[in-house]
Structure 1
């Protein structure tokens, strides 16, 4: 008998992927993996010497971490699969390879990233491969550049916008990044007691609240290119110098600066967490926070270096302002909003540093008139 190829094996998995029970009855091993808030993620393994494996991702019609009383359209599964296909075609290797979509069951099959680890977990324990960080930014540059109206033409770009309208997920981002964190006493907001003493910096500052509202409008109205839509360091997996983006269910056509702004904010969490932890311990070990600062400088240099070659001066200035403003909103929402970050657990001093920086970025984003890496690093307080 001819040896079964991986593609043949995928065809067999497709026949039984509707439920774990069907997969197990067909002789596959099924492992529950991931701790995501929205979706079910399982690894399917063949019981053979090669131990072939694939990931099944399923979107229930509600927010998984909250339960059925919090409905959420399962169409997000189709959006994510289509985003994987676009990203893989434009920047091969940037995401797990998509294999098959089961629209009826809101599930899809994709490459199993065995041996890879979530970047967030690496950062928390003080590990960062700078080459992997640069690779993610190179992928972003490629995807953003090749999904603009200029690149695609009006008709195809209009089709792209329609395909990735992604109304419910965009609304979640609108609410949980740009709206709820800026409403005093909103029931979804939460923060440490130390941060609670600083909340007047947000809620007693009319200019900041106006600027946050303006950034929300930019997020909702600008249609520049296809975005990942939720590019924090928990949405990146790395193995040595290789990196891939995961969790593309928030993908939509939006403002060019959003992905980079979110990514830089999440580097900032790690930077201040390790800097303050080192100060508290009076550590003489290698300064990991300096490595994170290096990663941020690389990201800004690479992204803006490419943008400078193709964007008019005014558009370049707008991009710089958006990156700064969106980073500020991400910083604040992770400190006072519903979803916090592991980097800052038990480190209120770092939380307050990030909160104050977020406030300053939102207040000052309209004044940004430069896009060099040193200048933007200075805006972030990281010369």
Structure 2
């Protein structure tokens, strides 16, 4: 992937556990004499994340700083620091509609490419929770509501056209969108150097690469991603971008935010729940317990779509400002498009998380390599089927039937 040379501001410097303390003390969030404990906890691909605690006053915050390159690759892959603005701006915009589902942003510093937000240490990354077989009773309702409210209130169905287009300008995010365009929609479907998969499944991968019908359908999905600015999207809504407890859901990491097709966020979430479903064949050894947890994951898919559809429909009917929201059949038609898009985007996400640059721990932590390879081949089959048959899979029940095992 070719990327432009990007120079950070002259005032920029990556913080460390010492300098970040000096920085936060200037913000007066902690008392002057506070004895702060600091840990760098970032385990993602792009950023530094500092956890700062004042135990004597039971206060803590997170400082997240963008690096001028991708951690997952190194300095050979330069990145702009502006992604910190996209992330903090998205969280603040989402907080206008779903304040209980995102962490609060306290401060943003453009020159250092960082922002300060609530500490979510009481929560667990959803991906870790699903690998451990933990159920979250409010997750599906929360994610469906989250996507419905953020997308509706930033769409042409609600906003005045001038306001909508001004907001689109604020979230033009070419650099991180290019990463998605390459790593989700392009590289996995070609023999590209960024792909990463075991040689044991190469035959299945080459079969995918040689599938001209599949490439044709992915091309359509990529063009939708490039051109359909329907609403403000999170842009990376997988199970590693959600913090949870049994009572609480918090969406994080929206640095890929931009205006795109509404089905994209839903499709990414669906795909990662489906990958979790597949991986339980290895993570939960008890057949009875595994079936119970897989049934919970299936219910999560059903309830997420139901929650989204119900909330979006209510907003459309009660708060829609575009004249065509009052025309019978328009809502059903649009929701049908969102569904088809979500199925196709889910297929792309399943494939890229299996053989692309960025994998998921759900599959990669499976110790029995024979089983891991079998499940990865199954994932490729599912992703391919979703993409090719997205217009024939007309509802969630049909989607589930593709992979559900009694």
Normalising by the residue count of structure 2, what TM-score does the alignment of the two structures yield? 0.84
Matches within 5 A, 1:1-383: 20-24=17-21, 27-46=35-54, 49-184=56-191, 186-275=192-281, 281=285, 283-285=287-289, 287=291, 288-307=293-312, 310=316, 311-345=330-364, 346=366, 347-368=372-393, 370-371=394-395, 373-378=396-401
Measured after TM superposition, the shift of residue 29 of structure 1 is: 2.3
Q: CA deviation at 1:301?
A: 1.8
Taking structure 1 as reference, are residues 201 and 308 closer, same or farther at Cα in structure 2, changes over 3 Å only? farther
Once the two structures are overlaid, the 10-residue window that deviates more, 269-278 or 214-223, is 269-278
- The Cα shift of 1:65 comes to 2.6
Aligned match of 2:9: none
Matched residues in 1 for 2:259 and 2:174: separation? 11
Change (3 A) 1:260 1:23: closer
Moved beyond 6 Å, runs of 4+ = none
Contact 2:350 2:380 in 1 (8 A): yes
Question: What is the CA–CA distance in structure 2 between the aligned matches of 1:192 and 1:18, rounded to whole Å?
Answer: 36
State how far apart, in whole Å, the 1-side matches of 2:114 and 2:204 are.
Answer: 43
Three-state SS of the structure 2 residue aligned to 1:258 is helix
Query: Once the 2 structures are TM-superposed, how far is the Cα of residue 286 of structure 1 from its aligned partner?
Result: 5.2
Distance 2:75 2:355 in 1: 26
The whole-number CA distance in structure 2 between the counterparts of 1:154 and 1:213 is: 29
Q: TM-score, normalised by structure 1?
A: 0.89
State how far apart, in whole Å, the 1-side matches of 2:91 and 2:401 are.
35
Aligned pairs, how many?
361
1:161-190 alpha-carbon deviations (Å, 9 max, x no partner): 100001101110000000100112x11111
Q: Could you give the per-residue CA deviations for residues 334-378 of structure 1, whole angstroms, max 9, x where no partner exists?
A: 11111111111232222121110101111112334x34x324433
Which residue of the partner structure matches residue 324 of structure 2?
Answer: none
Let me know the Cα RMSD of the aligned residues: 2.1
- The answer for unaligned runs of 5 or more in structure 1 is 1-16
Residues in 2 aligned to 1:382 and 1:151: alpha-carbon distance in whole angstroms: 41
The answer as to whether partners of 2:149 and 2:312 remain within 8 angstroms in 1 is no
Residue-by-residue CA offset, 1:125-146 (whole Å, 9 max, x unaligned): 1112131232122111111111
Alpha-carbon shift at residue 382 of structure 1 (Å):
7.0
